[in-house]
Chain A
Amino acid sequence: SQQGEEDPQALSIQEGENATMNCSYKTSINNLQWYRQNSGRGLVHLILIRSNEREKHSGRLRVTLDTSKKSSSLLITASRAADTASYFCATDLNQAGTALIFGKGTTLSVSS
């Protein structure tokens, strides 16, 4: 079943601009993760934020989590053409050993 809903579905920006993607989910979570997928490839883990955290940084990535609103955002600063990919949020429910439930994804296109 689908858990997350990303917004926007597609985003086109110029190099150097910031890209913000949002994710909403439905049930309580243990943590929320963001993944990147290049076209036709597998997914790569970007960052994880736990339910008791509100913000996390990793390089040019900034993730926020609002459990009261059941939402998260991923900010990519100073975007590059190489950031062009699809980005998915995924929720890890409060059950050990279970799969992640993915949102619909945001397709980011960064033009030089």
Chain B
Amino acid sequence: GAVVSQHPSRVICKSGTSVKIECRSLDFQATTMFWYRQFPKKSLMLMATSNEGSKATYEQGVEKDKFLINHASLTLSTLTVTSAHPEDSSFYICSARDPRQPQTGELFFGEGSRLTVL
């Protein structure tokens, strides 16, 4: 199956700093990537849809200025948590569909990034 790589897997930062998480499609091109957030023992909440070459589409209630998404190439989307605070601590996961498999509808996920803000 298609491979999505996410980095870093774990990051600890001080309150007020910014953290960048990268999501790469390794063996396919992704014009669209999806960013999810997962709280402990909870489901995945869709944060935003990242669109290559254009602005991301954010879900209701997600702060655009807090969670900056950039999709500068067909294989890379980044999520930057700006001025992070302890309440931003969470598990962030990216995903994408493989255009070579248009009929499956399957999402391929990165391994996730655990953010801890002190």
Given A48-B104, A102-B43, A102-B44, decide whether A42 and B49 contact each other with a Cβ distance below 8 A: no
Is B34's CB under 8 angstroms from A33's CB?
no
Contact A42 B110 (CB under 8 A): yes
Give A68-109 as 1s and 0s: 1 = Cβ < 8 Å from B's Cβ atoms: 000000000000000000001010100001111111110100
B109 CB within 8 Å of chain A: yes
In this assembly, does B93 line the interface, its C-beta being within 8 Å of a C-beta of chain A? yes
| B91 contacts chain A at the CB level, 8 A cutoff | yes
A44, B43: Cβ atoms closer than 8 Å: no
Closest to A88 in B: B43
Smallest Cβ distance from B78 to chain A, in angstroms? 17
Other-chain contact of A2, B4, B43, B49, B110 (Cβ < 8 Å)? B43
Q: Is there a chain A Cβ closer than 8 Å to B111's Cβ? A: yes
What A residues does B111 contact at CB under 8 A? Answer: 41-42
A window 21-60: CB within 8 A of B? 30-31, 33, 35, 40-45, 48
Name the A residues within 8 Å of B108 (CB-CB).
45
Q: How many residues of A contact B (CB 8 A)?
A: 26
B70-109 near A? 1/0 per residue, CB < 8 Å: 0000000000000000000001010101000000111111
- B109: chain A residues at CB < 8 Å are 42-44
Q: Name the distance in Å between B85's Cβ and chain A's nearest Cβ.
A: 22
Specify which chain B residues have a CB less than 8 angstroms from the CB of A43 in the assembled complex.
Answer: 44, 93, 95, 107, 109
Q: Which residue of B lies closest to A5 (CB)?
A: B43
B112 and A33 contact, CB distance less than 8 A: no
The docked-state distance in angstroms from the alpha carbon of A98 to that of B105 is: 10
Smallest CB gap from B97: residue in A: A97
A48 touching B44, Cβ below 8 Å: no
Cβ of A100 and Cβ of B107 under 8 Å apart?
A: yes
Q: What 9 A-B pairs have minimum CB-CB distances, sorted nearest first?
A: A42-B109, A99-B34, A102-B44, A104-B43, A43-B109, A42-B111, A45-B106, A102-B43, A92-B105
